[in-house]
Structure 1
Amino acid sequence: MRKRVAVMDLGTNTFHLLIVEGHPNDLKELRHDHVAVRLGEGGINKGLIQPEAFERGLNTMKSFQQYIEYFDVKEVKAIATSAMRSAANGKDFMQQVKAETGINIETINGDNEASYIFYGVKASDILGEKNSLILDIGGGSIEFIIANERQIFWKQSYEIGAARLMDKFHQTDPIPEDAVSAVHQYLDEVLESFYTAAKKYHIENLVGSSGAFETFAEIAERTKGNNFDLKTLKSYRFDKQELVKLTDKLIHSNHQQRLDNPYIIPVRVDMIVVASIVTRHLMKKLKINSICMSAYSLKEGVLAEMLS
């Protein structure tokens, strides 16, 4: 009997729905949606889901429920992360979703989130013998996982996601140099525990988990005139110099230039700037030359658990 399951990853910026059937090594994707809900818009650092964002989230969950019914899925898991975890009205949102759709949303802590991300990235076959830093830049939090293909050595989730950093530092466009320096300083203060762990475990590779790294990869390939289809990709390896040039251009760009770039999805048009700053700062700080992208992340980790 082929198992049919639905996984929802309800992030700060985007709500994902993935419906598949089969076994871990033989999966058929029935539906894959991602909706730019922007749950943290206007309230992420105030710890509140604003009314418009609340409404967008609720409507998206209603449409997800229709697909779950259409594909007759019996096993459903909805995981909420940073924005819902930290919002004063996060519980109200979950209760209303339950009342109107029957979907039970489960909030997970940063530690569990990091574990799921590791299992998702592991399934993309990008991890090897050498130690990697898996970096998942979400809207609300960033997960730092030091691991190889066999195990996690250290992990932590920090509430410094792209939406929070943007709200705090990116008020003028293009972002001024002093604001970029302020982001660097802030990261160094917040990430002290990570830097201590990085010294202990020699990190050879940086693996960016989906999100902004998908955008970096698409821009890199499309500007060379190559085809790029995320649906057929599990992972991607960057040319370091290419990535440095590309992120440099994004950091110095203005809103209109990014908006006009067909390879940046609307929800990432502004957040890609702080995501670029974080990526570049860590590459430099850790002296990393090998950078990859895993198209698999939290939802694939949850999926692996459900189908195991």
Structure 2
Amino acid sequence: MMNIHTYAAIDIGSNAIRLLINTIYETPQSVTFNKTSLVRVPIRLGQDVFTVGKISKKTINRLADAMTAYKLLMKIYNVDRYRAFATSAMREAENSSEVIKKVKEKSGIKIEIISGKEEAKVIFSSELRNYLESDNYYLYVDVGGGSTEISLLNKGSVLYSQSFPIGTVRLLDGKVEESYIPKVIKPWVEKITQNKHIELIGSGGNINYIFKESGKKEGKFLSYHYIHQQYELLKNLTYEERIEKFNMKPDRADVVVPALLIYNSIMRYAHATRIHIPKIGVADGMINLMFKRNRKI
């Protein structure tokens, strides 16, 4: 007998807000997660928070409108359970309590703020383990708008994990210098990867975009040379040229370069020659975690 469930996760990041809806097919032998819908809106909370320390009234209203729309979409899809969670920007916003209250009043959706460590745990509740070969060392790198999560994985376990306050929006707004990467991230990465053969697993909208544009088939990897090449190519183009030549969305054309800078640097520090992009993120992990917890009830 098959049971069918519909779960959703709303990921309120520093650069965009995403709604992921999954249909879950459960039998006594297996559980399959199927991505039914993924909606992304470019509400850049980090631009407010990393500049003035709080979220503006205009952005709060946009966020509340997005949550209202997401609530209607979840109703249309007959979603059984959902969680709405916020990461880096909301963690640092002075008025996060006010934002949560106003969004709840307007949309009925309650937002919870999760820590960097919780964010990493949620990600590893996803199907990420399916991509790990038992004896290989992988450096999982999730580059967001406000933070970068890096974890060393081996044999399905997390050996080291750290959240760094550097992301694409923070770099763009000049709230953190590029020098932070070699000063802080480099020694940490070199220490945990010393004398190990490392491959990267990349997560985030920007690396997903680069993989899609590469034309590679799902399950294939990108080389360090390719990532470096794309970084050099795009950083030497203007914002307008990136939009025109590559048909990029405006909210992708500015953040893709700092994202590639971070991935490129970490690959170099870890002496990694390839990066896997399984298109699994924190929203996937949240749905997986909700499902597992519900089964135990």
The interval holding the TM-score normalised by the smaller chain is 0.7 to 0.9
Q: Is the 8 A contact 2:85 2:112 kept in 1?
A: yes
Q: Is the 8 A contact 1:147 1:154 kept in 2?
A: yes
**1:107-118 alignment runs, 5 A limit:** 107-118=113-124
Q: Is the 8 A contact 1:118 1:134 kept in 2?
A: no
Q: 1 CA distance for matches of 2:59 and 2:257? A: 22
Number of the residue aligned with 1:290: 274
Q: 2 CA distance for matches of 1:141 and 1:56? A: 22
Q: 1 CA distance for matches of 2:83 and 2:175? A: 35
Q: 2 CA distance for matches of 1:169 and 1:101? A: 32
Contiguous gaps of at least 5 residues in structure 1: 171-181
Q: Does 1:6 align with 2:8?
A: yes
Q: 2 CA distance for matches of 1:307 and 1:187? A: 37
User: How far 1:169 sits from its partner (Å)?
Assistant: 7.3
User: How far 1:205 sits from its partner (Å)?
Assistant: 0.5
Number of the residue aligned with 1:177: none
- Alignment TM-score, normalising by the size of structure 1: 0.84
Q: Is the 8 A contact 1:251 1:276 kept in 2?
A: no
Residues 26-45 of structure 1: CA deviation (Å, up to 9, x unaligned): 23443321111112224424
AA matched with 1:158: F
Q: Percent identity?
A: 25
User: How far 1:199 sits from its partner (Å)?
Assistant: 4.1
**1:123-202 alignment runs, 5 A limit:** 125-129=130-134, 130-168=136-174, 183=178, 185-191=179-185, 194-195=188-189, 197-199=191-193, 202=196
User: How far 1:192 sits from its partner (Å)?
Assistant: 6.1
AA matched with 1:259: I
Q: Is the 8 A contact 2:207 2:260 kept in 1?
A: no
Q: Is the 8 A contact 1:133 1:203 kept in 2?
A: no
AA matched with 2:77: F
User: How far 1:200 sits from its partner (Å)?
Assistant: 5.5
**Residue number among 195, 212, 234 corresponding to 2:206 in the alignment:** 212
Residues 5-36 of structure 1: CA deviation (Å, up to 9, x unaligned): 11111111111111222247323443321111
Gap change, CA 1:201 and 1:50, over 3 Å in 2: farther
Q: 2 CA distance for matches of 1:264 and 1:155? A: 32
User: How far 1:266 sits from its partner (Å)?
Assistant: 2.5
Q: 2 CA distance for matches of 1:45 and 1:193? A: 28
Number of the residue aligned with 1:267: 251
Q: 2 CA distance for matches of 1:305 and 1:251? A: 38
AA matched with 1:90: S
AA matched with 1:299: A
AA matched with 1:95: K
- Alignment TM-score, normalising by the size of structure 2: 0.87
Q: 1 CA distance for matches of 2:170 and 2:164? A: 11
Q: 2 CA distance for matches of 1:78 and 1:137? A: 20
Give the secondary-structure state (helix, strand or coil) at the position aligned to 2:289. Answer: helix
Gap change, CA 1:259 and 1:42, over 3 Å in 2: farther
Give the secondary-structure state (helix, strand or coil) at the position aligned to 1:307. Answer: helix
Residues 66-122 of structure 1: CA deviation (Å, up to 9, x unaligned): 112222323111111001111011121111111122211111000010122233361
**Residue number among 281, 284, 292 corresponding to 2:265 in the alignment:** 281
Residues 230-288 of structure 1: CA deviation (Å, up to 9, x unaligned): xxx4x441133222211110122211111214453332211111111112212222211
Number of the residue aligned with 2:228: 244
Q: Is the 8 A contact 1:218 1:263 kept in 2?
A: no
Gap change, CA 1:102 and 1:239, over 3 Å in 2: same
User: How far 1:292 sits from its partner (Å)?
Assistant: 1.6
Gap change, CA 1:203 and 1:264, over 3 Å in 2: farther
**1:68-147 alignment runs, 5 A limit:** 68-120=74-126, 122=128, 125-129=130-134, 130-147=136-153
Contiguous gaps of at least 5 residues in structure 2: 293-297
Residues 205-240 of structure 1: CA deviation (Å, up to 9, x unaligned): 01111321112112322xxxx7x7xxxx4x441133
Q: Is the 8 A contact 1:136 1:211 kept in 2?
A: no
Q: Is the 8 A contact 2:53 2:94 kept in 1?
A: yes
Gap change, CA 1:135 and 1:241, over 3 Å in 2: same
Give the secondary-structure state (helix, strand or coil) at the position aligned to 1:260. Answer: helix
